[in-house]
Amino acid sequence: MTDLTLLPPAGSHVAVLGACGGIGADIVRSLIEGGCIVIAMDLPGSLAEAPSPAQHSIAFDGRDEQSIAAAFAEVQAITPGLDGLVIASGFAGQRQPIDQWGVGEIDDILNGNLRLMTLCLRAAVPLLRHGGPASVVLLTSDMAYIPQPGYAPYVAAKAGMVAMGQAVARELAPHVRINFVSPGAVDTPFLRGGRGRSQNPDAPLRFDMNDYLSKVPLARMANAQDITGPVLFLLGPASSYMTGNVLHVSGGAFMG
């Protein structure tokens, strides 16, 4: 009989990076409701601003190699192996033309997205290889496929995440699967700057919503729950024959 379970089995250990953001928090909540043991990982400021209901919380800075090493040592003290890993961390920065981006700002965006994903994935490999099959879900962005002016470093970082992740998916198969969820705009604090950084999560949206919605066939903004479903599917056994795949969740704004 076909197993149509969409969630990882109850008791699975799943680490969620970016656990305090709008999408990350909803993923954590759904995993807990499904009986998983969740390790929430995020910036100290994010965990302080929006404490996670996860069974375990670890504060770390994904741009700092030593902080990453210490954080995954804490994970290993909780469990010798991870059944699932979700990397939902990242930020886009302020919208501005490429010739106005400072080198430090560009490095910050690349470090907080592509470098973070690469170093965290590297640190997680021994945990993912321990025990039974494991699944990784990386959140990228449909900006990597429909580039928007003013966000060139973020577009490059998110496109690089897919290329890097697909290379590693080939390295780690068949024991570890790596897939991607690529959202369009999602109505969370991310669109106003995010949590745990200097931006104000109550600030106005940084784009023209009416213009955006005019290009979305499903004619509405996504919410966090729209993204959580595909993430849970890729973590669970129903996607066991998928690796290196990108699920686009953008209301039809990107069809590919």
Supply the pTM of this predicted model: 0.91
Q: How far apart are CA 83 and CA 119, in angstroms?
A: 19
The Cα 178–Cα 237 span in angstroms is: 13
Q: Among the listed ranges 13-17, 108-112, 192-196, 227-231, which one has the minimum average pLDDT value?
A: 192-196
Alpha helices in the chain (DSSP H): 22-33, 44-49, 65-78, 103-110, 116-129, 152-172, 209-213, 224-235
Which pLDDT value is given to residue 200? 55
pLDDT attached to residue 219: 76
Whether residue 153 is predicted with pLDDT greater than 90 in this model: the reply is yes
- Give me the chain's average pLDDT, please: 90
170-185 average pLDDT score: 96
Single-letter amino acid, residue 196: G
pLDDT value for 44: 96
pLDDT band at residue 220 under the 50/70/90 scheme = confident
Percent pLDDT > 70 in the chain is 91
Question: How is residue 179 written in tokens?
Answer: 């897939």
pLDDT at 232 > cutoff 80: yes
| Span of 87-91, 122-126, 174-178, 203-207 with lowest mean pLDDT | 203-207
What is the pLDDT confidence band of residue 191, given thresholds at 50, 70 and 90? low
DSSP 42: E
For residue 135, list its beta bridge partners: 84, 177
Q: What pLDDT is attached to residue 3? A: 45
CA distance 39 to 246: 24
Task: Give tens-digit pLDDT for 49-85.
Answer: 999 999 999 999 999 999 999 999 999 999 999 999 9
CATH fold of 13-249 reads: Rossmann fold (3.40.50)
> Positive or negative CA dihedral for 103, 107, 105, 65?
negative
Q: What is the predicted pLDDT for the residue at 52?
A: 96
Report, as an integer, the average pLDDT of 228-236: 97
When pLDDT is averaged across residues 188-212 and rounded to a whole number, the result is: 60
Instruction: State the amino acid at position 91 in one-letter form.
Output: F
CB 195 within 8 A of CB 24: no
pLDDT score of 33 more than 70: yes
At residue 1 the predicted structure's pLDDT band, cuts being 50, 70 and 90, is very low
The 3-state DSSP class for residue 32 equals helix
- Please tell me the predicted confidence (pLDDT) of residue 189: 65
